[in-house]
Chains A and B, each alone.
Chain A
């Protein structure tokens, strides 16, 4: 089933913000907004749920810390507890200060990299991915708000023109 979307072009982020608020107030569902740069407060205006990526990062950090501790406890204390320069290798705790730099770095390493990978997966970003922006100008100086059409083309057009759109186009929905 082919569904259509209406795309409203704006050339100012303040106008865009007001438009988003108006469209939300008129109870239309905004499919997507394409911006050349982050617009502060746009997610709030659109009513997007807050990100949970910081929580995943914390959990990844815990994993990294555990990996560091288990690894060094096995290698340095359990498997082959050598006397290296008089360091006490009798228990993990006794030799812990020497392990802290690695514990710290692995925590940061896991927290950072796994969070970035999570971000790529959730945002569906990878090399050779086909770009999704509906108009090349959205990467330079134009903003596009995309709303799905349900036989209300004229009504929506009027509403969007009133919000200060500089251009309006109707197209088939591009499915990704």
Chain B
């Protein structure tokens, strides 16, 4: 039986307190009037906001022209990031004010979603292990169940942010603003799906489905330890297979709702898979890191090098899978260069050059080179270091998905962003380790547990 160490408990509480202060500072420092916003911009000098409102100097001619056309077509739609000068001078100050007011909200949302998606990715991995009847992983089931315990608080946090968005506390989702929709033919066309009430109902259904499966599977998993037949195991198998069908559909729709709809003029068909790959690899990485931590403390004596090796193989493989989807999405849009969809990447390359391409290096090049060697996948500190790189990379992935549409070129990784990361990291650690301490770390009567104990690669 694992007991949460005091140092970990206090550490996570400190993280939450420091993070909460950072978040509060972010909200207090956000400007409330246009004059304040403009003052903040000029005080920053010519940072990345310096060339705002002028021409579009970062862009190639071809792309710049294409982008301009879209802005003109989209009329008063103000959240598109890069601004083109004609006829927008009046809007500019209001636009910057909205971006700066969005900053603490977007920082909060990115971090809340990032830690939530880790738990969701682990849940998908867990369900796959159960449905596939994997023989190597049952020793790690309690670790995975511990991580997925964060689905409840994490899901509530994300849901509350979505409710606050619907209540117009922020401008994260422009399509929630009736004023914007009234002047935007494209958004009117999508209003049947992008409807605030329907949006919240969908979110509630997704969360309910995921949490329901998690709690049910956990209950069966604990009951299996005490029972004298395998009926709980079989029920869990069926529930997991059913869940995977639900998950595939709901995850895809969730990614349209929660992430793609911050850019409501843009759409991409493989976006659901792309977000899935991101959460899947982050989840597997966290399983590996927590397993290594618990093992180093002596709580998982039966876990051996081969288990870590397998997790590292998954980290390696899914990192490449993520890159494949990232590149497929990027290259198809870059190649055809259709103005209505290429703006997505134009704003990112112009305003987010380093985070955008840096994330590809973190998520692809590092895992590729560090985890290619079979021996390195068994070295714990190597796996942990690569895991840290992967997690930073996938935070940047979500950052790059949300920020350009909400704060545009006013982005910065400062106190609000880091505060939000610390806060949710603290909550994640606290909740996950509390759940880990609530049940024995090794399942007793799993039919595959013997195979898992003797797993050797």
A residues with a Cβ closer than 8 A to B are 54, 58, 86, 88, 97-98, 100
B residues with a Cβ closer than 8 A to A are 60, 62, 327, 330-331, 334-335, 337, 372, 374
Residues of B within 8 A of A98 (CB): 331, 335
A63–B337 alpha-carbon span in the complex (Å): 32
Residues of B within 8 A of A86 (CB): 62, 337
Assess the A54–B374 pair: CB atoms within 8 A.
Answer: yes
Assess the A100–B60 pair: CB atoms within 8 A.
Answer: no
Assess the B330–A97 pair: CB atoms within 8 A.
Answer: yes
Shortest Cβ distance from B334 into A: residue = A97
A29–B337 alpha-carbon span in the complex (Å): 67
Assess the A100–B331 pair: CB atoms within 8 A.
Answer: yes
Assess the A58–B60 pair: CB atoms within 8 A.
Answer: no
Minimum Cβ distance to chain B for residue A61 (Å): 10
Assess the A100–B327 pair: CB atoms within 8 A.
Answer: yes
Number of A-B residue pairs having CB atoms within 8 Å of each other in the complex: 15
Please list 15 pairs of residues, one from A and one from B, whose beta carbons are closer than 8 Å in the complex, sorted by A's number: A54-B374, A58-B372, A86-B62, A86-B337, A88-B60, A88-B62, A97-B327, A97-B330, A97-B331, A97-B334, A97-B335, A98-B331, A98-B335, A100-B327, A100-B331
Residues of A within 8 A of B337 (CB): 86
Residues of A within 8 A of B62 (CB): 86, 88
A100–B60 alpha-carbon span in the complex (Å): 21
Residues of B within 8 A of A100 (CB): 327, 331
Minimum Cβ distance to chain A for residue B372 (Å): 7
Shortest Cβ distance from B60 into A: residue = A88
A86–B334 alpha-carbon span in the complex (Å): 12
A170–B278 alpha-carbon span in the complex (Å): 62
Residues of A within 8 A of B327 (CB): 97, 100
Minimum Cβ distance to chain B for residue A155 (Å): 35
A97–B60 alpha-carbon span in the complex (Å): 16
Shortest Cβ distance from B331 into A: residue = A97
Residues of A within 8 A of B60 (CB): 88
Shortest Cβ distance from B372 into A: residue = A58
Minimum Cβ distance to chain A for residue B153 (Å): 40
Shortest Cβ distance from A88 into B: residue = B60
**Other CB < 8 Å A-B pairs besides A88-B62, A98-B331, 13 of them?**
A54-B374, A58-B372, A86-B62, A86-B337, A88-B60, A97-B327, A97-B330, A97-B331, A97-B334, A97-B335, A98-B335, A100-B327, A100-B331
Residues of A within 8 A of B331 (CB): 97-98, 100
A88–B334 alpha-carbon span in the complex (Å): 11
A33–B327 alpha-carbon span in the complex (Å): 48
Minimum Cβ distance to chain B for residue A101 (Å): 8
A98–B327 alpha-carbon span in the complex (Å): 11
Residues of A within 8 A of B334 (CB): 97
Shortest Cβ distance from A94 into B: residue = B60
Minimum Cβ distance to chain A for residue B290 (Å): 30
Residues of B within 8 A of A54 (CB): 374
A54–B376 alpha-carbon span in the complex (Å): 14
Residues of B within 8 A of A97 (CB): 327, 330-331, 334-335
Shortest Cβ distance from B333 into A: residue = A97
A2–B254 alpha-carbon span in the complex (Å): 76
Residues of A within 8 A of B372 (CB): 58
A98–B62 alpha-carbon span in the complex (Å): 17
Listed from nearest, the 5 A-B pairs whose CB atoms lie closest are A97-B331, A97-B334, A98-B335, A100-B327, A100-B331
Shortest Cβ distance from B336 into A: residue = A85
A86–B61 alpha-carbon span in the complex (Å): 12
A64–B335 alpha-carbon span in the complex (Å): 24
Minimum Cβ distance to chain A for residue B450 (Å): 18
Shortest Cβ distance from A54 into B: residue = B374
Residues of B within 8 A of A88 (CB): 60, 62
Minimum Cβ distance to chain B for residue A69 (Å): 16
Minimum Cβ distance to chain A for residue B320 (Å): 11
A24–B195 alpha-carbon span in the complex (Å): 74
A88–B63 alpha-carbon span in the complex (Å): 11
A64–B94 alpha-carbon span in the complex (Å): 53
Minimum Cβ distance to chain A for residue B334 (Å): 5
A100–B374 alpha-carbon span in the complex (Å): 26
Residues of A within 8 A of B330 (CB): 97
Minimum Cβ distance to chain B for residue A168 (Å): 33
Shortest Cβ distance from A97 into B: residue = B331
Minimum Cβ distance to chain B for residue A40 (Å): 10
Minimum Cβ distance to chain A for residue B268 (Å): 16
Residues of B within 8 A of A58 (CB): 372
A54–B377 alpha-carbon span in the complex (Å): 15
A86–B63 alpha-carbon span in the complex (Å): 11
Shortest Cβ distance from A98 into B: residue = B335
A58–B327 alpha-carbon span in the complex (Å): 22
